[in-house]
Structure 1
Amino acid sequence: MSSPPGTATCSSCFSGENGGLHGDDDRSIADPRCVQCMRSDPPSCSSSSSSSLGFDPIPLKESEKLWRVITAWAKGFSIGAGLKGGLSLFSIIARLRRTRLSSSSRKVFSNSEAIALAIKETLRYGLFLGTFAGTFASVDEIIASLGGHHRTAKWRALLAGLIAGPSMLLTGSNTQHTSLALYILMRAAVLASRCGVKSKRFGKYCKVLTWSHGDIFLMCLSSSQILSAYILKQESLAPSYKSFLNKHGGKDPVILQGMKEIASGLPFTDLDLIEKYYNSTGVNIKLDPEMKIPCSIIHGNQSCSGHVMSFFIQAYKRALPVYLPVYLIPALIVHRQGLLKRPYSILGKGLLGTARSSLFLSTYCSSAWMWTCVLFRIFRRCNIPMVAMGTFPTGLALAIEKKSRRIEISLYCLARAIESFFTCMADVEYLPQAKNLKRADVLIFSISTAIIMHCYAQEREVFRSKYLNVLDWVFGVPPSPGETPRRKES
């Protein structure tokens, strides 16, 4: 886009940094709508040129600042409520389907109570993200007004992100979100490491972070802790995640109890219950109390290879409903405009991604049983180290996922693994002070969001484009690399 004759512009306009793309904009000609000329600090462009275009070098109006805060709150609320509501909707549909198919009349709570709880959780998460976005925008504008937009640009987003973090309390004052906080911390660490790699001072120390298969290694490491806890110490896992593992692990609790007892060297207490369970499925089996490996407990009369194949088919059916909302709901939010122009292309990619991610999850779950069986049979024993070693290579299934999703999944699982690990350490009193920390999740989340929002304001190139698009939509596009996010000028 060329500049009208006689229009002067500042240096950031010629560098292609004006606007919100920073690194994605190839323009080398000046943009006549120089945003820097509209700031409260001394303008870097000529006043006459700005006046000739109808833009005087004056601060943003109070109404514009208020509008930025309101739109940030509304967009944050829509994302939080949309994501949580979509997941709750699929959960309710699955529950209603199970209710129709189940002959049992025993229920923990009714369908109407489940729907009411889903609505409440949807509103809570909407308020959480809406308040976070609105608080960030408010603090950003207040500090800019009091301290000067350019003078506070280097640290304003850091402080605003820190102050906005306690909005997590809106999800419930007694609800701990340690896993979420740790995941956001992992995301902040990744962004900080990317900044370190490009830094002249710290770049040589951060080269190890550029290892292309580091995400798979992290997944293997996380799997060893998570899956071991799933078998040996489920109470160290968050209730929602424990429920997820119990569903996709595909094993009855009495089977897991039998594995736990043989791995821990304890005498069997529920062998008769395991036999009754298999009898209820049409499998007649008599378990040996003196067994050394738990293969007959895990898959009854099936061979190890036959069990893996049959388990994989069932696991794939369980995985499909999990990933449908993961792909389709973001498509409605991120690609809302393109969805009208090319619906078949976008929906086709969503369905392909669903099939691929379902393949990953089903392979991950079935390979967990495969690797443990292989290891048990090779060494002819089952103990806690064997369980940890057997679940480590399960993380290799992550290679099925596309590269852009691997780091997300591995960081999510790493956060769950860290939470489980420290819970186990606290339970055996290796970390006695950990139990005294109240709402450490809010503190971790606040520090993490401070780092993330600082990177968003100052180091935009360390973000992937899809996340940058969402942040830009909610908070506004930064007008230049040295300024914090503001709403795009209309």
Structure 2
Amino acid sequence: MPPPDDGPTCCFAVESLSSAADDDDLNSDHNNCPHCRESDPSTSSSSYSHSISESNSDRITRIISAAVKGFSIGAGLKGGVSIFSLLSRLSRRRSPNSLKKVSGVSSSEEILLVIKETLRYGLFLGSFAGIFSSVDEIVAAIGGHRRTAKWRALLAGGIAGPSMLLTGLNTQHNSLAIYILMRAAVLASRCGIKSKRFGRICKPLTWAHGDIFLMCLSSSQILSAYILKPESLPSSYKLFLNKHGGKDPSILQGVKEIACSIPFSNLGAIEKIYKSMGVNIKLDPEMKVPCSIVHGNQSCVNHVITFLIQAYKRALPVYLPVYLVPALIVHRQDLLKRRYTILGKSVFGIVRSSLFLSSYCASAWMWTCILFRIFKRCNIPMVAMGTFPTGLALAIEKKSRRIEISLYCLARAIESFFTCMADVGYLPQSLVNVKRADVVVFSLSTAIIMHCYSQEREVFRSKYLNVLDWVFGVPPPPCYTPRYKNNK
């Protein structure tokens, strides 16, 4: 809730919602409150009534404002990414050098789909923000701000979680739910590090390069699954990997067959692909190393260099909305005053992040080629080991973004891992058949996140606090919360 503008409103808004027993404690705490020093709590009854009506109006304004701002963020982010993706597909479709003919879906249908997805995600975040603010205000009005401060945001965040269903009743969001769970775990661990009771247990979480290690671990699962079991990855993420992996599915199939010791079934198709590129090559069915499948008659070094340049061109359009859209939201107030500084940082971020993504994709092929050449063989353990050091490319990114990227990839890796385990029968069917577990996990995670936002704000990074404060309003001053009394 936004902080009050003056002392009388701060005191009387709370007192009007609390019981007589709660009022005495509030008055004792307000004596030392900087928001309340300029006024005497024992003011006239007319001023008291005016503060109550003003507080009710503020609550309604907060709820409506949160819903509108949540909708704008959801629609803006999803719409921005979808529009750039649509423009990229349309440009490839119109390119005379395009080798694939896209059929089945017209441009008008794609545009309509983008609009629907934009509205769905806008309604999702708008409803989440509106429901959270509503529950927060209702519980505070009934139970009192100070009495409910420790658990109110936890409850409101959990109740608002099922708004995820607005993105589609039949649409599973396992990766999103796991990612938000990872975010909640990070915040909880930061709280644990500060705690005297759990500080020693959470000490390993302060490892400086833990984010890079998580990225390497995630890369081993994701990239191995991309080659060996692509159906374990979400379709949207698989399309992303197909684009930035830069290899035709038949090439990936050839690598899979040699790694799994399966007889080749599509060497002719691979040869046709290279022939369409002007490269005549004859693949050996008895090969032990798939380098000729991956990069034809190029050497491993030349392949990495040319692939890096091509991957960088593919990566640039990905990060344009990632940096420009948040810049308009987070730095909305300073954009006119420091436009060149903010835009300069955004451009630098786009260049650096694009270099990270292109280096990540290029190093995936580089490390596997090196490993295959050293051991003169290709099998499943080699693929897993060769894709592990790919995560080192994360060091290119800005430190504050590394944990975000590693957690995002970790969520994808966990989903893929459990899918693979379920397919081979290592997981109980009772767990596999749980419907909408993503909603349950998401609701639990948002409950933890919003609790930390309300009670442990220092565990958030400033840029996230700026966005959350803009949507939900800055939480009340310390005199509203039980922690104020304890600190005193």
TM-score, with normalisation over the residues of structure 2? 0.90
Decide which of 412, 417, 423 is 2:419's aligned counterpart.
423
Which residue identity does 2:476 align to in structure 1?
Answer: P
Which residue identity lines up with residue 292 of structure 2 in the other structure?
S
Superposition pairs for residues 199-348 of structure 1, below 5 Å?
Answer: 199-348=195-344
2:71 aligned residue: 77
Equivalences for 1:388-427 in 2 at 5 Å? 388-427=384-423
- What are the residue-to-residue correspondences of 1:469-488 with 2, within 5 Å? 469-481=466-478, 483=480
Which residues of 2 match residues 14-29 of structure 1 at below 5 A? none
Q: Which moved more, 1:44-53 or 1:251-260?
A: 44-53
Offset at residue 149 of structure 1 (A): 1.6
Q: Does 1:61 pair with 2:55?
A: yes
Structure 1 residue aligned with 2:452:
455
Return the alpha-carbon distance in structure 2 between the equivalents of residues 367 and 240 of structure 1.
22
Q: How far is the alpha carbon of 1:130 from its aligned partner?
A: 0.3
Q: CA deviation at 1:385?
A: 0.4
Residues 108-147 of structure 1 show CA distances to partners (whole Å, capped at 9, x for unaligned) of 3011000000000000000000000000011111111221
Residues 74 and 121, structure 2, Cα contact 8 Å, conserved in 1: yes
Kept after mapping to 2: 8 A contact 1:165/1:447:
yes
Shift of 1:61: 3.4
Secondary structure of the corresponding residue to residue 205 of structure 1: coil
Alignment-derived partner of residue 8 in structure 1: none
Whether contact under 8 Å (1:359, 1:400) holds in the other structure is yes
Q: Within the alignment, does 1:96 sit opposite 2:93 as a pair?
A: no
Tell me if the contact between 2:212 and 2:392 (Cα under 8 Å) persists in the aligned partners: yes
Taking only aligned residues, the RMSD between alpha carbons, in angstroms, comes to 2.0
CA displacement at 1:55 relative to structure 2? 6.3
33 and 244 in structure 1: CA distance in 2 versus 1, 3 angstrom threshold: farther
Shift in alpha-carbon separation, 1:205–1:481, aligned structure 2, 3 A: farther
Q: CA deviation at 1:480?
A: 2.9
Cα deviation for residue 375 of structure 1 reads 0.3
Distance (whole Å) between structure 2 residues aligned to residue 108 and residue 273 of structure 1: 23
Q: Distance in 1 between matches of 2:479 and 2:455?
A: 6
Identity of aligned residues (%): 73
Q: Are residues 1:351 and 2:347 paired? A: yes
Between 304-313 and 329-338, the greater mean CA deviation after superposition: 329-338
Unaligned runs of 5+ in 1: 1-17, 21-30, 485-490
TM-score, normalized by length of structure 1? 0.90
Question: What secondary structure sits across from 1:444 in the alignment?
Answer: helix
Larger helix percent = 2
Letter of the structure 1 residue corresponding to residue 10 of structure 2: V
2:465 alignment partner, one of 450, 464, 468: 468
Query: Runs ≥4 in structure 1, deviation > 6 angstroms?
Result: 51-55
The count of residues paired between Structure 1 and Structure 2 equals 458
Q: Which residue of 2 aligns with 1:186?
A: 182
Per the alignment, do residues 384 and 240 of structure 1 end up closer, same or farther by CA in structure 2, a change over 3 Å counting?
same
Change in CA separation of 1:62 and 1:366 when aligned onto 2, cut-off 3 Å: same
* Structure 1 counterpart of 2:40: 49
Which residue, 357, 379, 397 being the options, matches 1:383? 379
Select 2:156's aligned residue among 146, 157, 160. Answer: 160
Q: Is 2:93 the counterpart of 1:118?
A: no
Deviation at 1:342?
Answer: 1.5
Q: Secondary structure at the match of 2:197?
A: coil
Q: What do residues 195-239 of structure 1 show as CA deviations (whole Å, max 9, x unaligned)?
A: 000001100111000001000000000000000011111100001
State the 1:337 CA deviation.
1.4
**Residue 52 (structure 1) shift:** 6.7
- Once the two structures are TM-superposed, the CA of residue 100 in structure 1 deviates from its matched residue by 1.8
Change (3 A) 1:289 1:33: farther
SS of the residue corresponding to residue 340 of structure 1 reads coil
User: In the aligned structure 1, how far is the partner of 2:244 from the partner of 2:479?
Assistant: 47
Distance in 2, matches of 1:469 and 1:283, equals 53
Name the residue aligned to 1:435. 432
Question: 1:478 is paired with a residue of what secondary structure?
Answer: coil
**CA apart distance, 1:97:** 1.3
8 Å contact kept, 2:335–2:342: yes
Q: Secondary structure at the match of 1:187?
A: helix
Conserved in 2, the CA contact under 8 Å of 1:457 and 1:482? no
Deviations 1:28-57 (A, max 9, x none): xxx857734531332423696246799649
Aligned partner letter, 2:272: K
Q: Which of residues 20, 25, 35 is equivalent to 2:10?
A: 35
Residue of structure 1 in register with 2:362 after alignment: 366
CA distance in 2, matches of 1:110, 1:152: 53
Assess if the C-alpha contact under 8 Å between 2:79 and 2:115 holds in 1: yes
Rounded Cα–Cα distance in structure 2 between residues aligned with 1:80 and 1:458: 25
Name the CA shift for 1:366/1:133 in 2 (closer, same or farther; >3 Å): same
Q: Unmatched 5+ residue regions in structure 2? A: 482-488
2: CA distance, partners of 1:35 / 1:234: 57
Between 1:38-47 and 1:282-291, the stretch displaced more is: 38-47
Q: How big is the shift at 1:157?
A: 0.5
The aligned counterpart of 1:9 is: none
